[in-house]
């Protein structure tokens, strides 16, 4: 697939020469083109050899946008008012807008990479594409693919932790926190039984409506309880480096949906619609983050709690808000669970009929994989029981790379040898090199700050029945 455009990405020769795509059931007859895996080109609800084939291309662009809003906005928005209170209004907003712009750009880079290699559906697959050029495709896939899955399991743990906070708040801590975690484990797993995101495209509306309504009710309540002007606001604050950078990692979590992006792209009916779905996500989440974090901070002041839904003054109203938030807590966690389980499932059943058809062994395998992943997530939720610390650790170790660093690496590899071919490429080289630098800084400094915060934290003990009610 040669091109005379100096700005065109450099394609690796091994794809056009070898066409060795047995792993993906590729059709190698169309020389010079990059075809999507045959596994995903199934007629929905068709039958083959007595087994029901699974159609993976089920999402319209707006459905994909809603799914991404559901999995991105859910937990991130709950920590942002506290971030503004910690950093101060001006620096908090600057960092928020800055991270939002770069996360949008990195999502476009991921779409550009997948357009060049349409069978990619995870960071592991993208790593294998790059690694093959140096004979290390399998190794790169193992490292990036499992890192992505581990990150998603940690996010699943964050949702289970939030679930226990919610249930303790609603029931006045009527049961042991560990018990509520087990109940959540069963609920999340049961909703993870579908094999595609088609259902998520619809019930994600409930998730978005849930978090939107919950934060709106919170803002109305704090506005009534604490009128503007009763608390002095800080345009900027002098705080310790550890506290400041932990707040930045929480902002990174708010824009950290990228680990699911390749998988969502792979389920689009029209892959070229990706920019529209991404724009829907980034416009909605950035505007919502700014409005909610500023309003709640203005009314509550420097003592705004995290999660922010606990800012409501009345205990009864607080219960109502957490009840409204249940769908987003659950649905967003289920989306991460689906993407993580799908990666493991593909690795286990690659090259078999169980991957594309609904066989008894495939069903048992899917149920078993989802159950194991949720059990691991439950263990994590009980081991790191402080909401901000868990989010900060996840952001530093994983979100720094999947949302910023690795998309920059993808562009640098895709355009290797063409970085300065045109003025546009030169600008993009600078942007993507900066993405890699952001990933390095957030990872290194974020891990150090999160570790220090965990060491100093005197909050809840891990594996405790004690209430963590908001």
318, part of any domain: yes
Predicted confidence (pLDDT) at residue 2 exceeds the cutoff of 70:
no
Are 102 and 108 in contact by the 8 Å Cβ rule? The answer is no
Q: How many domains does the chain have?
A: 1
Q: How many CB atoms lie within 10 A of CB 32?
A: 10
Q: How many CB atoms lie within 10 A of CB 65?
A: 26
Q: Is the peptide bond before 241 cis (omega within 30 degrees of 0)?
A: no
pLDDT tens-digit series, residues 24-41 = 333 333 333 344 443 333
Q: DSSP code of 59?
A: B
Q: 33: how many CB neighbours lie within 10 A of its CB? A: 11
Give DSSP secondary structure letters for 199-225. HHHHHHHHHHHHHHHHHHHHHHHHHHH
CATH number of the domain to which 348 belongs: 1.20.1740.10
The answer to whether position 249 is within a domain reads yes
pLDDT at 389 over 90: no
Candidates 102, 127, 65; CA nearest to 403 is 102
Q: What is the mean pLDDT of residues 161-177?
A: 92
* 298 domain residue, yes or no: yes
pLDDT of residue 238: 64
Determine the pLDDT at residue 43.
35
Burial class (CB in 10 A: 0-12, 13-18, 19+), 39: buried
Instruction: Tell whether the model's pLDDT for residue 225 goes beyond 70.
Output: yes
Question: Quick one: how many helices (H) and strands (E) in the chain?
Answer: 16, 3
Predicted confidence at residue 243, as pLDDT, reads 77
Q: Residue 97: is its pLDDT beyond 50?
A: yes
- Strand pairing category for 357-358 and 51-53: antiparallel
More confident residue, 158 or 24: 158
Task: Decide which of 368 and 238 is more confident.
Answer: 368
> Which residues on neighbouring strands pair with residue 47, listed in sequence order?
52
The pLDDT assigned to 236 comes to 61
pLDDT at 44: 36
Which of 2-11, 214-223, 423-432, 457-466 has maximum average pLDDT?
423-432
Query: Sign of the CA dihedral 99, 437, 340, 48?
Result: positive
Check if the beta carbon of residue 188 is closer than 8 Å to that of residue 333: yes
Residue 381 has pLDDT above 50, yes or no: yes
* Angstrom distances, CA of residue 464 to CA of 65, 382, 391, 451, 453: 38, 8, 19, 21, 20
Residue 3 has pLDDT above 60, yes or no: no
What is the pLDDT at residue 237?
Answer: 64
Q: With respect to residue 426, please indicate whether it lies within any of the assigned structural domains.
A: yes
Structure tokens at 228: 């503007």
> Is 21 inside any structural domain?
no
pLDDT at 232: 59
Residue 442 lies in a domain: yes
Please name which of 298, 314, 289 lies closest in space to residue 212, comparing C-alpha atoms. 289
d(CA 312, CA 355): 47
Give the distance, in angstroms, between the CA of residue 266 and the centroid of all CA atoms in the same chain: 16
Let me know if residue 13 belongs to a domain. no
Biggest CA-to-CA distance, the chain:
71
* Predicted pLDDT at 1: 37
Mean pLDDT of the chain: 82
Surface-to-core class of residue 290, CB atoms within 10 Å of its CB (0-12 exposed, 13-18 middle, 19+ buried) = middle
Please give the average per-residue pLDDT across 88-110, as a whole number. Answer: 92
Helix pair angle (137-171, 360-383), 10° resolution = 60
Question: Distance of CA 14 to CAs 10, 25, 127, 129, Å?
Answer: 12, 17, 15, 10
> How does pLDDT run across 101-136, given as a tens digit for each residue?
999 999 999 999 999 999 998 999 999 999 998 889
Does 61 fall in a domain?
A: no
Structure tokens at 97: 């807008």
Nearest to 200 by CA among 58, 53, 52: 58
Checking if the pLDDT of 306 tops 80, the result is no
Domain range spanning residue 226?
A: 66-456
The answer to whether the Cα torsion of 24, 30, 32, 36 is positive or negative is negative
């Amino acid at each position: 697939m040669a091109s005379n455009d100096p700005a065109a990405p450099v394609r690796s020769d091994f794809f056009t020469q070898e066409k060795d795509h047995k792993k993906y059931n590729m059709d190698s007859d169309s020389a010079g083109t990059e075809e999507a895996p045959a596994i995903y080109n199934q007629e929905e609800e068709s039958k083959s050899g007595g087994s029901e084939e699974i159609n993976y291309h089920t999402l319209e662009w707006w459905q994909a946008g809603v799914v991404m809003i559901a999995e991105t906005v859910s937990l991130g928005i709950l920590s942002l008012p506290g971030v503004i209170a910690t950093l101060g209004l001006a620096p908090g907003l600057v960092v928020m807008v800055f991270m939002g712009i770069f996360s949008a750009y990195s999502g476009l880079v991921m779409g550009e990479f997948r357009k060049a290699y349409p069978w990619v559906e995870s960071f592991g697959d993208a790593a294998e594409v790059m690694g093959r050029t140096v004979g290390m495709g399998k190794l790169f896939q193992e490292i990036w693919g499992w890192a992505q899955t581990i990150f998603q399991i940690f996010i699943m743990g964050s949702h289970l932790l939030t679930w226990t906070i919610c249930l303790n708040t609603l029931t006045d801590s009527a049961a042991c926190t560990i018990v509520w975690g087990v109940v959540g484990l069963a609920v999340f797993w049961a909703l993870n039984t579908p094999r595609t995101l088609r259902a998520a495209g619809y019930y994600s509306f409930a998730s978005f409506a849930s978090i939107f309504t919950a934060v709106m009710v919170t803002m109305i309540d704090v506005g009534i309880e604490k009128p503007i002007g009763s608390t002095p606001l800080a345009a900027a604050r002098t705080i310790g480096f550890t506290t400041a950078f932990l707040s930045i990692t929480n902002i990174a979590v708010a824009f950290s949906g990228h680990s699911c992006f390749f998988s969502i792209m792979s389920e689009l009916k029209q892959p070229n619609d990706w920019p529209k779905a991404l724009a829907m996500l980034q416009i909605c989440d950035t505007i919502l983050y700014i409005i909610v974090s500023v309003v709640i901070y203005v009314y509550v002041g420097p003592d705004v709690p995290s999660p922010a839904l606990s800012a409501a003054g009345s205990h009864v109203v607080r219960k109502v808000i957490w009840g409204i938030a249940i769908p987003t807590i659950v649905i967003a966690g289920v989306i991460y669970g689906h993407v993580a389980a799908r990666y493991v499932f593909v690795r286990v059943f690659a090259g078999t009929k169980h991957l594309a058809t609904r066989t008894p062994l495939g069903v048992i395998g899917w149920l078993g994989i989802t159950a194991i992943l949720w059990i691991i997530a439950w263990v994590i939720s009980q081991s790191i029981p402080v909401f901000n610390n868990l989010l900060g650790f996840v952001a530093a170790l994983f979100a720094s790379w999947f949302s910023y660093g690795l998309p920059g690496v993808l562009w640098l590899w895709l355009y290797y040898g063409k970085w300065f071919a045109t003025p546009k490429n030169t600008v993009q080289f600078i942007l993507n090199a900066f993405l890699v630098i952001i990933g390095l800084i957030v990872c290194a400094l974020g891990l150090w700050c999160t570790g220090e915060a965990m060491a100093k934290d005197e909050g809840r003990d891990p594996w405790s029945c004690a209430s963590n009610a908001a």
